[in-house]
Amino acid sequence: MTPERLARIRQMLAMRQPDLTVCLEEVHKPHNLAAIVRTADAVGVHQVHAVWPRTRIAKRKGTARGSQNWVGVNLHPDIETAVGELKAQGMQILATHLSDTAVDFRRIDYTRPTAILLGQEKQGITPQALALADQHIIIPMVGMVQSLNVSVAAAAILYEAQRQRELAGLYGRGCLLSAEEQNRILFEGGHPIFAKICQRKGLPYPQLGADGEILADEEWWQKVQMSKDAWSHLDDEDDGLL
């Protein structure tokens, strides 16, 4: 990993906003998923949430992962599970929906822990999801069309959240992620070939040094170079030393 890449990743991690996220309820078009995750990364969202029935989760994993490089995508089987997890983190749940109680999205305080709930392209947010939201929000429009593409709506709201958080100094708090999570991201971003080897062989990621160097013992390096079938011989040798 070059010093420049290490510095860039660390700068990105320092700007991450783990208490800001979006929750996508059965948003299914790949280009929308990719656009939303790209915008989430741009404003410092660390993870997004996507709701899909259990029978479809396996099918959607490839699309979600293919749309992201630096933003995690957490999949949920139903909206109750997703919102329950977000509320347990102390987040306010905002649903994009035109209702009698809806307010202009710019009137919301996004410096609070916030999850923005966005609905499926054709049907929008389900009644179950709307009932779980703390507040309905709208994006004012003065043209003939009264709805925006879901990825455009997400971008408008997320950049308002970024504006407020920047003014409040929330991008200057330093990295709020755990040391383990930071190490994972640095390893995958700085040593992608070794990360793929670890994933394929089931090896744990080693710790990284101050300069991004891999700090691993001889056994880890041997297992990186060996086939997994050959590990038993190495483990037998280790047992003989005990």
Nearest to 129 by CA among 26, 1, 29: 26
- Cite the annotated binding site by residue number: 96, 139, 148
25 φ, ψ to 5°?
Answer: -95, 95
Binding site for S-adenosyl-L-methionine: which residues?
96, 139, 148
